[in-house]
């Protein structure tokens, strides 16, 4: 049985970034950059004013304050060429407008009095005041966004400022999900099902996590606990998929057929147990066919187990496939609002709600931590990690937590 760290290391080792593609800038959010963006020109491209006011040549403000300069006839406005600045002259200028040649400062309009066509200045500005200099934000040849960056809205704004209309990003991983179990039925079909059938709730949650991690997802029809039918479904799902996610039937019960079905479909398993709770019966392997390797995650069928194991193993794998430089999300230190009972031997993933208490981030463990509970999975916004060597943890203790929004 692998530890949590051993299992994640095994899953992420040897992952090669998928092929890249060019997408419009407006479609880049959440994609992973496959080519670094380097500035081709300075940003800003010219000296411009940070304020509405008056552009001056500081050397023209000689003698004692109150300084008087004639206001030029032409003002400088954003999007237009700046007028020349004559000797002993000031120029009305607006925010974002080019600074006239010869001017070296801008005085904000609140600090200037007007007497007809003369501007009166109470103080001499320092050279460079309220002027944004060409290249002060980024210089030609400077790295703007590194390869392997998952693009945020701010990144897209930066790329647009670099005058880029398209970006080269990694292809989205193709993910197939197959849920297994005789007991499953589609949600909303209770009238047509037997009294012991249960709505299949895992694929909706897992598909959402796949999309959150940047993947394209295909949910195949659920299959019952039949070895031949399950193997056939897996063989179909592997074709064209970068990752196959199976749900349920991965343990060692009499009706758990997933592992032999995966092997029959050509999957070689690397491991099938991890020292975590919930999620111990987790399988991982690979299927190589036709020059393409499909990675396979066999998740437990209990909803809490499936959600936690995909968040901790599946999502980082998808991010690594896209060349994400940081495939594993950051955890945060949290203070427990209530104690947690824990038996040493497995890393426990406690579903919790996070809230602020002053400067502290506080985790409230949800009451039902059973692996089959869907309520705690729906109400939780974080997983709190209780180390495998720990015993019972008291209220007020500090642990690490993963926000599910960061998966």
pLDDT in tens, 30-53: 999 999 999 999 999 999 999 999
Which two structure tokens, joined as six digits, stand for 321? Answer: 């496939």
pLDDT at 255: 67
Q: How far apart are CA 283 and CA 234, in angstroms?
A: 14
Q: Would you give the end-to-end CA distance of the chain in angstroms?
A: 25
For range 203-231, the mean pLDDT: 97
pLDDT at 331: 98
pLDDT at 42: 97
Domains of the chain by start residue, with CATH: 4-18+171-321 (3.40.980.10), 22-41+145-170 (3.90.105.10), 48-132 (2.170.190.11), 332-406 (2.40.340.10)
User: Cα–Cα distances in Å, from 377 out to 137, 201, 233, 269, 390?
Assistant: 44, 11, 28, 28, 23
Please give the model's pTM, rounded to 2 decimal places.
Answer: 0.91
Q: What is the mean pLDDT of the chain?
A: 96
pLDDT at 169: 98
Those residues with Cβ within 8 angstroms of residue 341's Cβ, 6 or more apart along the chain or in another chain: 392
Query: 3-class DSSP state for residue 96?
Result: coil
Residue 192 has pLDDT above 80, yes or no: no
Query: 3-class DSSP state for residue 207?
Result: helix
Q: How is 232-301 classified by DSSP, letter by letter?
A: HHHHHHHTT-SEEEEES--SSSTT--HHHHHHHTTPEEEES-BSEES--S-EEEEEEETTEEEEEEEE-S
pLDDT tens for each residue of 275-286: 999 999 999 999
pLDDT tens for each residue of 105-142: 999 999 999 999 999 999 999 999 999 999 999 999 99
From 52, 51, 20, 50, select the one nearest 36 (Cα to Cα): 20
User: Cα–Cα distances in Å, from 286 out to 68, 210, 294?
Assistant: 79, 19, 6
Residue 94 or 239, more confident: 94
Residue burial 374-398, b: 16+ Cβ < 10 Å; e: rest: bebbeebebbbbbebebeebeeeee
């Amino acid at each position: 049985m692998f530890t949590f760290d051993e299992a994640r290391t095994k899953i992420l080792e040897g992952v090669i970034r998928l092929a890249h593609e060019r997408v419009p800038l407006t479609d880049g959010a959440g994609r992973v950059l496959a080519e670094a963006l380097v500035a081709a020109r300075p940003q800003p491209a010219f000296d411009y004013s940070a304020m509405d006011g008056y552009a001056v040549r500081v050397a023209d403000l000689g003698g004692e304050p109150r300084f008087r300069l004639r206001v030029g006839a032409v003002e400088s406005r954003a999007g237009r060429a700046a007028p020349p600045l004559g000797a002993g002259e000031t120029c009305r200028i607006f925010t974002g407008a080019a600074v006239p040649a010869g001017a070296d400062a801008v005085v904000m309009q609140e600090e200037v009095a007007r007497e007809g066509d003369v501007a009166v200045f109470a103080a001499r500005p320092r050279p460079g005041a309220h002027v944004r200099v060409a290249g002060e934000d980024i210089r030609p040849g400077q790295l703007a966004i590194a390869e392997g960056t998952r693009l945020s809205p701010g990144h897209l704004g930066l790329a647009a400022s670099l005058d880029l209309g398209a970006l080269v990003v990694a292809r989205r991983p193709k993910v197939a999900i197959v849920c297994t179990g005789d007991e499953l039925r589609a949600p909303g079909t209770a009238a047509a099902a037997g009294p012991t059938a249960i709505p299949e709730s895992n694929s909706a949650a897992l598909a959402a996590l796949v999309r959150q991690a940047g993947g394209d997802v295909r949910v195949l029809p659920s299959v019952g606990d039949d070895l031949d039918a399950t193997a056939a479904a897996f063989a179909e799902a592997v074709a064209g998929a970068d990752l196959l996610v199976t749900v349920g039937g991965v343990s060692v019960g009499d009706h758990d057929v997933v592992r032999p079905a995966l092997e029959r479909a050509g999957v070689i398993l690397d491991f099938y147990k991890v020292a975590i709770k919930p999620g111990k019966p987790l399988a991982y392997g690979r299927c190589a066919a036709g020059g393409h390797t499909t990675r396979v995650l066999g998740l437990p069928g209990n909803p809490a187990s499936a959600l936690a194991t995909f968040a901790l193993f599946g999502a980082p794998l998808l991010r690594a496939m896209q060349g994400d430089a940081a495939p594993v999300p950051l955890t945060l230190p949290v203070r427990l609002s209530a104690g947690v009972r824990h038996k040493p031997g497995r890393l426990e993933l406690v579903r919790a709600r996070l809230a602020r208490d002053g400067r502290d981030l506080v985790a409230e463990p949800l009451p039902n931590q059973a692996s089959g509970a869907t309520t705690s999975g729906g109400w939780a916004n974080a997983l709190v990690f209780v180390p495998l060597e720990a015993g019972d943890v008291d209220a007020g203790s500090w642990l690490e937590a993963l926000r599910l929004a960061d998966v």
